[in-house]
Amino acid sequence: MSTPEERPARLEVGVVGAGRVGAVLGAALARAGHKVVAASGVSDASRGRAAALLPGIPLLPVEEVVARAELLLLTVPDDALPDLIAGLTATHSWQAGQIVVHTSGRYGVKVFEPAAGHHIIGLALHPAMTFTGTAMDLTRLTDCCFGITAPEVLRPVAEALVVEMGAEPVWIAEEQRERYHAGLAHGANHLVTLVAQAMQVLGSAGVEHPHRVIAPLLNAALDNALRLGDAALTGPVARGDAGTVAAHLRQLADETPDVRATYLALARATAERALASGRLTASAAEPLLDILAVPKELP
């Protein structure tokens, strides 16, 4: 954590989009000594988050939030960001010298190009974390990294803001933002789907508390994968147990269609990576890949 002497001047902060991310980051900046002066949010959920995390902060129309802020957080969905920037540019809402931070994983700072003539200071600060929109997230920020992209001269400003929120800045080149975001989404979002599917299958097998059964296995697998990468792989695909995999696919045929399709896709990817790394021999892989290539009936 930075010392007061290392921190930039205190700033008046506006939050456009008091969603799960915006309300938490606004609270984190307030905790660091900045002053949140306004936020926008129209849904009941946004209003509730603002009341809990940004108590006493007025909820105002977007243009009024922009007008009040020296540091503006644009915490809106990725697909909404370009239109928001274009709209604020068209209405001449920006203030010259205003620091504008977006939290999109997909975009870097080129998304601010429509506003170039308005002399704003655009930064991309993406928290690599899933948010609940509660005070719990403030604690989680201390273990969080932010993917930052900024003009080189502004890199210290971007890094300082992240450090002030208790997190770690990680530099992402402008041209790599989409690839960076794809890696995070593939890992985190698809992990949720995978775990939910696994618990569904355990439940259909009669397991009363699927989360209790699978949690130690998942925790160990995640820890091993983070430390060892592909070398952490175990199970029937790694062993080339084609018969076991075929039995799994038969059992999954009466689950919701997404489960069997996901198993097939991930088993194929696992087999290909195990084969490429030498953990699975070509002779063991052949019958396994034959089974995984069959999308319909299985023996």
**pLDDT (tens digit, 9 = 90+) per residue, 2-25?**
444 445 569 999 999 998 999 999
How large a percentage of the chain has pLDDT more than 90? 90
Cα–Cα distance measured from residue 33 to residue 29, given in angstroms and rounded to the nearest whole number = 7
* Single-letter amino acid code for the residue at 30: A
Q: Which domain holds residue 210?
A: 180-293
Q: How far is CA 228 from CA 2, 4, 172, 215, 267, in A?
A: 32, 39, 24, 20, 19
Give the pLDDT confidence of 224-252 residue by residue, as tens digits.
Answer: 999 999 999 999 999 999 999 999 999 99
Q: Which positions ≥6 away from 227 have C-beta within 8 Å?
A: none
Question: Could you say which of 172, 197, 219 is where a domain stops?
Answer: 172
Q: CA-CA distance, 21 to 117, in Å (whole number)?
A: 28
45 and 165, same domain (yes or no)? yes
Domain total for the chain?
2
What pLDDT shows up at residue 256? 97
How do residues 250-266 score in pLDDT, each as one tens digit?
999 999 999 999 999 99
Same domain, 140 and 208: no
- Residue 32 falls inside a structural domain: yes
- What pLDDT is stored for residue 9 in this prediction? 61
Q: What CATH number is given to the structural domain containing 156?
A: 3.40.50.720
What is the rounded CA–CA span in Å between residue 139 and residue 152? 30
Question: Quick one: 106 and 211 in the same domain?
Answer: no
Q: Are 96 and 230 found together in one domain?
A: no
- Mean pLDDT along residues 146-165: 97
- Which residue in the block uniquely carries the two structure tokens 């399709």? 261
